[in-house]
Amino acid sequence: MFTRQSGHARGIRARLRGVSVAVAAIGAVIGLAAGPAAAADTWTAVPDPDSSRWFDAFLANGGDTVFARSGFYSGGDSGSGEVARYWQRNGTTWTLLPAFASQTVETSDDDVWTATSANDFWVVGQTASAATVGNHWNGTAWEQRSPTDTTVRFLDIKAVSTSDVWAVGTTRSSSASSLPGTIGHWTGSSWQVTKITPTAGSQTELTSVYVKSATDIWAAGETCTAVGGSNCRGYVTHYDGTSWTEVAVPTGTVGIEEITAGPSGEVWAAAGTKVLRWNGSAWTGGADVSVSGAYAIRELTWAGGKLYAGLGLDSGSSHSGILRWTGSAWEQVTRVPETTGYYVTNVYELSGAPDGTLWAAGSYVQLFATPTFAATLAPGS
In the predicted model, is pLDDT for residue 26 greater than 60?
no
**35 vs 69: which has the higher pLDDT:** 69
The 3 state secondary structure assigned to 83-109 is: EEEEEEEECCEEEECCCCCCCCCECCC
- Residues 6 or more apart whose CB falls under 8 angstroms from that of 280 comprise none
**6 vs 276: which has the higher pLDDT:** 276
pLDDT at 339: 87
Tell me how crowded residue 190 is: count the other CB atoms within 10 A of its CB.
Answer: 12
- Residues 6 or more apart whose CB falls under 8 angstroms from that of 170 comprise 153, 155, 179, 180, 181, 182, 203, 204, 205, 206, 221
- Residues 6 or more apart whose CB falls under 8 angstroms from that of 185 comprise 164, 165, 166, 167, 191, 192, 193, 194
Q: Are 345 and 58 in contact (CB under 8 A)?
A: no
Q: Are 184 and 167 in contact (CB under 8 A)?
A: yes
DSSP assignments along 42-60, one per residue? -EEE---SSTTSEEEEEEE
pLDDT at 340: 84
Q: Are 61 and 67 in contact (CB under 8 A)?
A: no
Largest Cα–Cα separation, the chain: 56
Is 139 buried (19+), middle (13-18) or exposed (0-12) by CB count in 10 A? exposed
Segment (H or E) for 359: strand 358-365
pLDDT band at 371; cut points 50, 70, 90: confident
pTM of this structure: 0.87
In the predicted model, is pLDDT for residue 321 greater than 90?
yes
In the predicted model, is pLDDT for residue 162 greater than 60?
yes
**81 vs 271: which has the higher pLDDT:** 271
DSSP assignments along 254-318, one per residue? ----EEEE-TT--EEEEETTEEEEE-SSSEE-------TTEEEEEEEEEETTEEEEEEEEEEEES
DSSP state of 13: G
Cα(83)–Cα(202) distance, integer angstroms: 34
- Residues 6 or more apart whose CB falls under 8 angstroms from that of 233 comprise 222, 223, 224, 249, 253, 254, 255
Which of 76-90, 148-162, 209-223, 343-357 is the least confident region?
76-90
pLDDT at 254: 93
pLDDT at 126: 78
pLDDT at 55: 79
- Residue range 233-250: average pLDDT? 96
- Residues 6 or more apart whose CB falls under 8 angstroms from that of 17 comprise 295, 296, 312, 314
How does pLDDT run across 191-223, given as a tens digit for each residue? 999 999 888 778 999 999 999 999 999 999 999
Is 154 buried (19+), middle (13-18) or exposed (0-12) by CB count in 10 A? buried
Share of the chain above pLDDT 90, in %: 54
The pLDDT mean for the chain works out to 82
Task: Pick left, alpha or beta for residue 134 (phi over 0 → left; psi -120 to 50 → alpha; otherwise beta).
Answer: beta
How does pLDDT run across 167-186, given as a tens digit for each residue? 999 998 867 788 999 999 99
In the predicted model, is pLDDT for residue 190 greater than 90?
yes
